[in-house]
Structure 1
Amino acid sequence: MDINLISIFVSVAAAHFLALLSPGPDFVLVVKSALKGNQKNAIGVALGIATANAVYITLCLIGVGAILSTSIGLMVTLKVIGGLFLMYIAYHALKAPKNAYANFSTNTKASTEFSLSCFCKEFVTGFLSGILNPKNLLFYLSLFTVALTPEVSISFKVLLGVWMTLVVFFWDVAIIYMLSKTTIRQKFIRAAFYIDKVTGVVLGAIGFNILKSVWSKQP
C-alpha cells in the first residue's frame, strides 16, 4: 500500500470516527437498549446499526448512493418515515411510568441471559434507526466523493468499507459493555427514568425537526 492510499485511509477513517463520537439517535438507542438489562440482547441494536451503515457504504461504493441522493422523492420518503420512527420511539419512552423501571437489573450476571426474539427485535430497531436516517447516506457519499478517486482500486474501497462497518459495530458494543460494569450501571439505572425521558425528548425533537424540514420545503 503506497503512501497516498495510507493517507486516504487515515483521513477517511479519522473523519468517520470523529463523526461517530458525535451523539445522535443511534447512540441514544444503544444506551437505552443497554440499560434494559441484557447486554447480549443489546448487541442486536449495535449489529442492526452497523448493518444499516454497511448497506449505505456499499451503495456509495458501487455508485448507487449518488443516484439515490438525487432522488428527491426517495429522500423525502426516507426523512418522513425516519422522523415518524423516531417520534414513535420517543412516544414510548415518554409514556413509560416510573414503576416500569423497577425491573431494571443492576446485577450484570443476571443480565446475560440471551433471548433470540429480543435480540432480533433489538436488531430491527437498530437497523431501522440507521437505514431511515438519510444523513447516513449523505455522510458516506460526501466522504467517499471527497476522498476516493476513480483510480483507487475496488479492493481498497472494500477494505475501507469493512473497516468503517466494524468500527461502528465495535464502538457501539464498547458502549454496551461499559454500561454493563456494575458501578457504572448502578449509576445509570438510578437515573434510568430520567435518562429515558431525556431520550424521548431528544429523539422526539429530532423526529419533529426532520418532519418540519420536509414540510417547510413543500411548495
Structure 2
Amino acid sequence: MDLAGLLLFSSALFIAAASPGPGIAAIVARVLGRGPEGAMAFSIGVALGDVVWLSFAILGLAALAQTFHEVFLVIKYLGAAYLLYIAYKLWTAPAASQEVEANVKAEHPAKLFMAGLAVTMGNPKVMVFYLALLPTFLDLTRITMLGFAELVVATLTILGVVFAGYIALATRARQLFTSPRAIRFLNRTTGTVMAGAAAAVAAR
C-alpha cells in the first residue's frame, strides 16, 4: 500500500493506542501490583486482539461481527471476569514484596494471553477504531495481501512500542514502593483500577 496511507493509519493508531483505555489500565495496574513478569504475555494477547479487529475491518466482516454478537458478549464478560479476579488478588495480596513475586510465577502465560485477548475483543474503543474509523483512513477495498501484512506489522510495532513504554514507566513507579504499607496501598489502588477496567469492558 502507499506510504502516505500507511503513515496516516500508523499515526491514528498511535494516538488511539496511547490514550488510556481498559487495555492500558489493565497492563499498567498489573505491572504496578504484580511486577513486569507476565506483562508480555498479557500485552501480546491485547495486541493480537487488535489484529483480529483489523482483519474484520479489512475483510468487510463488520456485519459478521454483529451476527456473532452473542459470542463477543461471552468473550467480553469472560475478560471482565478475569480482570475482576486479578483485582481481587491484588487487593488481598500480602504486603511483603517477595510473597507477591512468588504469586506472579504461578500465573500461566497462556492464561494471561487469553485474558489480554479477551480484554481487547470486548473493548469498545478498539472496535470503534477498526470497524468504524479505519475505513475513513484507508480504502479497504483496495488493500492487497501485502498491504494487509504491512498493516499488521505496523499495528504490532506501534502497540509494542506503546505497551513497552507503559510497562517501563509502571515498573519504574513500582520500584518507589518499598515499605509494607506502601506496597499494600499500591496493591489496593491497582486492584481498584483493574476493577474499573473490568467495569469499562463489561458496561459497553
SS of 1:101's partner is coil
**Change beyond 3 A, Cα 1:139–1:196:** farther
**Change beyond 3 A, Cα 1:177–1:141:** same
RMSD: 3.3
Q: Specify every segment of 5 or more residues in structure 1 that has no aligned partner in the other structure, as ranges.
A: 106-110, 214-219
In the TM superposition, residue 163 of structure 1 has moved relative to its aligned partner by 0.8
Using the alignment, how far apart are the partners of 1:212 and 1:127 within structure 2? 18
**Greater shift in the superposed pair: 115-124 or 58-67:** 115-124
For residues 114-139 of structure 1, the C-alpha deviation after alignment (integer angstroms, 9 at most, x for no partner) is 96964333323322222232432232
TM-score relative to the length of structure 1: 0.70
Query: How many residue pairs get matched?
Result: 198
Given candidates 11, 20, 23, the residue that maps to 1:26 is 23
Using the alignment, how far apart are the partners of 1:34 and 1:145 within structure 2? 34
2:5 alignment partner in structure 1: 8
2:46 alignment partner in structure 1: 49
Structure 1 residues 80-95: aligned runs within 5 Å: 80-94=77-91
1:216 alignment partner in structure 2: none
2:130 alignment partner in structure 1: 140
**Greater shift in the superposed pair: 145-154 or 201-210:** 201-210
**Change beyond 3 A, Cα 1:153–1:139:** same
Q: Specify every segment of 5 or more residues in structure 2 that has no aligned partner in the other structure, as ranges.
A: none
Tell me, yes or no, if the aligned pair for 1:69 and 1:138 is still in contact at 8 Å: no
In the TM superposition, residue 151 of structure 1 has moved relative to its aligned partner by 2.9
**Change beyond 3 A, Cα 1:59–1:117:** same
Tell me, yes or no, if the aligned pair for 2:78 and 2:118 is still in contact at 8 Å: no
Using the alignment, how far apart are the partners of 1:130 and 1:185 within structure 2? 25
Tell me, yes or no, if the aligned pair for 1:56 and 1:137 is still in contact at 8 Å: yes
The higher radius of gyration belongs to 1
AA aligned opposite 1:201: T
For residues 68-123 of structure 1, the C-alpha deviation after alignment (integer angstroms, 9 at most, x for no partner) is 146554454455444444444333333x15xx131259xxxxx8xx9696433332
